[in-house]
Amino acid sequence: MKRTGKKVTQRPAAKKGKPKTAKPVQETKVGIPPEAKKRKPAPRKPSSKERVSPPSASDAFPIVGMGASAGGLEAFTSFFNNMPAESHMAFVLVVHLDPGHASMMPELLKRHTKMDVIEAQDGMTVVPDRVYVIPPNRDMSIFGRVLQISEPAEMRGMRMPIDSFFRSLAEDQGEKAISIILSGTGSDGTLGMRAIHGAGGMCMVQDPETARYDGMPRSAIITGLADYVVPVEKMPEQIQAYVRQYYPKKPGKILYLGDTSLTAIQKILAILRTKTGHDFSHYKKTTILRRIERRMSIHQVADAAAYSQYIQEHPEEIQVLFKELLIRVTSFFRDPEAFETLEKKMLPDLIGKMTETDTIRVWVPGCGTGEEAYSIAILLRECMQEAKSDFRVQIFGTDIDEDSIAQARTGLYPANISLDVSAQRLKRYFVREETGFRIRSEIREWMVFAVQNVISDAPFTKLDLVSCRNLMIYLDLELQSKIIPMFHYSLRPGGVLLLGSSETVGTFGELFSTLDRKWKIFRRTEATSPYHGGVFTGYGVGAAGAARVADTALQAKRVTFPEIARSALLEHFTPPSVIVGERGDILYVHGQTGKFLEPSQGQPSMNVLDMAREGL
């Protein structure tokens, strides 16, 4: 059974946290011992026996991270009973073990595989065809294919060792990372799976109907990011088939797409544009190709032409590919140092310049499920409390994915966010619910989440801060060169622009001065922007609403009776509206627009963005 990217939420299943049989396999849940308060020790150097030459691209192999809690031993044994000893993959097991006892897991699993099964040690280099098991009461990460074992850090709630390892695996191995979430209670592994999916890795989840405890599998499935939802015994065959097709046999070689690949890729993008209304032709080609290749491997489709046919025969795959290309990698306070710099330096300066009647306006384009927008809101609340100020705040979070925006509006996030949000902030700004944490209303009332395409829709204006982190790295230079001037246009004089650590303002240094070079924080200058409002022609929304009005005056014509009747009907039944040109200049006004538009101060302007009333 194979499902791709589908949510499994409708089936009747065992209650979360309760076993489906009377006698579960003996396994204990994680505990929090007194020594968990200790600081992490410095990683020890590997012994001479463990040291190996630095890994190179030529000896790269997939590393499979496997997470489980209660019921995990049963799932592991079923998996390794069906996994060949020579798969050229490594397996790292992160399981919730009794912190007070030595683990018997390696000895038990040796009975079910011919691979070496060992307890992981600090500084141990991961090699293929070997199984590594996390020690009890330890955290584990991976860097340069070397395992880092440490005592748990000071607790901020329940430990999430699976999330922690999966995140480090995603950062270290990228598309070579594979995550598997098996039986267990709670939601550990869900956030880590998001990271692996965002890095281009593969995500597999045990079918909840076959799991002794279904909490962890269901939490992972509901994200919609699981590439496969299958019984454990089917996983080895599926992984091997995926690895054979997706990973090149030679370093630097991309998957063979077929002789007609270019035409097929163009056709795939055209289908996406027609069915979703979004144009990916100006996304970076390497990203587009790798994501399409990944979907081909999941479905075991031979070439791009066959995949083009596949998505036409399976319309649900179009939406899955659409979400795949959006590449969602987000979390609360991602890159904490960047947010600390914003909190300590930029926001106090911004608040200090405000008057009692001012409104702080923030835009977060490409906000995904809202974590970054809420993070900025929390920082603003804390900075205003520090300054003993209370200004009106509007934070606009926008994204082209309707599902992401819908989730952002709920303000509900899994319990795993305790990895990223301090206990103090969780208590102050969140309400604990059965399924996780919900943002308190005092923060949510500042937020406006909306579906918007930063490429094709008009931008927000009169902004104090624009935070667009890790969106432009997926766009080509031509599109980047249009978005940066648009941000300059959107910001008020002295406004702040926050980009991702790998992004830059490019050739538009005259539009922005650098405030922090490391974390790419810039201030808007007084230079004249080459952008003058409106949208980018040629980067539009395809068949799903791509009608454009020419930026020319309408020629006067002889009025006929049908036109008089049409005019009367429009006047009576349609709402106030305006027709604008490409740059937002008003060409025609219909109805009473006073509630929405007013003349701008100073030199008169007929630009709809200049005339929009405050708050729109």
- Active-site residues, by number, are 69, 96, 188
Spatial CA neighbour of 88 closest among 66, 112, 60? 60
Q: For residue 514, what are the β-bridge partners?
A: 522
Residue 210 Cα distances to 77, 198, 218, 229, 235, angstroms = 14, 27, 12, 11, 13
Phi, psi of 150 (to 5 degrees): -150, 160
Q: For residue 179, what are the β-bridge partners?
A: 65, 203
What HEC string does 421-444 produce? CCHHHHHHHEEEECCEEEECHHHH
Angle at 436 between CA 224 and CA 466, to 5 degrees: 70
Residue 125 Cα distances to 48, 55, 93, 121, 175, angstroms = 12, 9, 15, 9, 19
577-580/521-524 β-pairing: unpaired
Element at 571 (helix H, strand E): helix 561-573
For residue 110, the Cα-to-chain-centroid distance in whole angstroms is 37
Six-digit token pair at 557? 């014509």
577-580/447-451 β-pairing: unpaired
Specify whether the CB–CB gap between 295 and 321 falls below 8 A: yes
Q: How far apart are CA 73 and CA 332, in angstroms?
A: 32
N-term to C-term CA, the chain: 49
Cβ count within 10 A of residue 481? 14
Specify whether the CB–CB gap between 328 and 194 falls below 8 A: yes
Q: How far apart are CA 199 and CA 193, in angstroms?
A: 10
Six-digit token pair at 593? 């627009």
Cβ count within 10 A of residue 494? 14
**Amino acid letter, residue 518:** K
Cβ count within 10 A of residue 391? 16
Residue 226 Cα distances to 12, 89, 468, angstroms = 19, 20, 27
**Rounded CA Rg of the chain:** 27
Residue 402 Cα distances to 268, 295, 367, 438, angstroms = 21, 21, 11, 20
Q: Coil, strand or helix: which one is 416?
A: helix
Six-digit token pair at 201? 């890795």
What is the signed CA dihedral for 118, 124, 126, 127, rounded to 10 degrees? -80
Element at 381 (helix H, strand E): helix 371-386
Q: Can you spell out the DSSP letters for 140-171?
A: EEEETTEEEEEPPPPPSSS--HHHHHHHHHHH
Spatial CA neighbour of 119 closest among 143, 89, 94, 154? 94
Q: How far apart are CA 414 and CA 388, in angstroms?
A: 32
Six-digit token pair at 132? 């590594």
Q: How far apart are CA 402 and CA 450, in angstroms?
A: 8
